[in-house]
Amino acid sequence: MSDNKLLDGKVIIVTGAGRGIGRATALMLAENGAKVVVNDIGGSADGSGNDATPAQEVVNEIKAAGGDAVANFDSVVSWDGGQNIVKAAVDTFGRLDGVVNNAGNLRDVIFHKMTEDDFDSVIAVHLKGTFNVSRAAATIFREQGSGTFVNMTSTSGLIGNFGQANYAAAKMGIVGLSKSMALDMARYGVTSNCIAPFAWSRLIGSIPTDTEEQKARVAKIQQMTPDKIATLAVSLCSDKAKNVTGQIFGVRNNEIFLFSQPRPFRSAHTSEGWTPDTVLDRVLPAFEADFYPLSRSADVFSWDPF
C-alpha cells in the first residue's frame, strides 16, 4: 500500500463498491490507510440480481496490496440493510468514521413512458439507500463526535438531462438530504458533502448510443476514469477536510468544480398584494430575461474534459 497514510486508523463504508466509482474509491481509501467495508449486492445496472463476486474481488485486491477490508452484501434499499452494513463495520473493525454513499442503478426512459416501478426502484436505491445507511451511521457519529458523509449526486439533477426523471429526482433529493445532514450533525463534528461525478462506469455504459450525438457524449465520458472521482472522495474523508461541509462538488476528469446553491436573485413586491393578473402582467415579464433555459448537462459542460 502507499506510504501516505492520510486515513490511517479510519474505517469507511463504500456502498456500490464492487465496480466503477465505488470500486476506485474503496481501493484508494485503502491505499491511504483506511479499513474499508466494501458493500455491493452485485446487481445488474438496473438493480436486479445478486452476485457476491464484485465486492469480494475488491476486498481480495485490497488485501493483496496489504490493506484491510471486508465484503458486505446487504441491500441499501431497506432500513435493516443499512443497519447491517454499519454493523459489519463495527463488528469487524470496532468503529466507523465515514460513509461514501455511492450505490446506484439506472432505469432511463422518457417521462411519459416511465412506469411506477421505474421511478420507485431508482428512488429506493439512490435516495432511500443514502438515507438508510447514513441514518444507521449517524447514531455512531453523534456518540463519538465525528464522522463524514460523502454522497454522490449528479448533474442530471443539478442541471438536467433527457430520459432521467427518476434519476434526477433521486439525485436532487440527495442534495437536500446531504445539506440537512450537514446542518443537523454539525454540532457533533460531522460533515456531509456531495460529489457530482463525470466518469465512465458500468451505469454510464447503459446510456443509449443510438444517435451520433449520444455516441459523441459517451466517447467523451469514457476519457474520465473513476479514480478521478475517488481522489476527491478520499480527500473529503480526511481530517484535513473537517471544516468542509454542506457543499456540492463536481469532478470532470482533471477539473474539480464547486457548484452554486439556489438563492433568490430577483424579487418583485407590491403594497397592494398580487393577483393572477398582476403576476402575469408584471412579475413574469420582469423576470423573463433571467429565466433559466431548459439546459442539459452537456449544454452547460460543452467543452472537452481537461
CB count in 10 Å sphere of residue 80: 12
Q: Provide the strand spans (E) within the chain.
A: 11-15, 35-39, 69-72, 98-101, 147-152, 190-198, 248-252, 255-258
Q: Is 188 one of the annotated active-site residues of the chain?
A: no
Q: Residue 7 phi/psi, 5° resolution?
A: -115, 25
Residues across the chain = 306
Are the beta carbons of 170 and 158 closer than 8 angstroms?
no
Q: Residue 36 phi/psi, 5° resolution?
A: -120, 135
The candidate with the shortest Cα–Cα distance to 205, out of 218, 217, 220, 223, is 218
Place of cell 479499513: 35
Of 167, 200, 249, 301, catalytic: 167
Residues known to be catalytic: 167
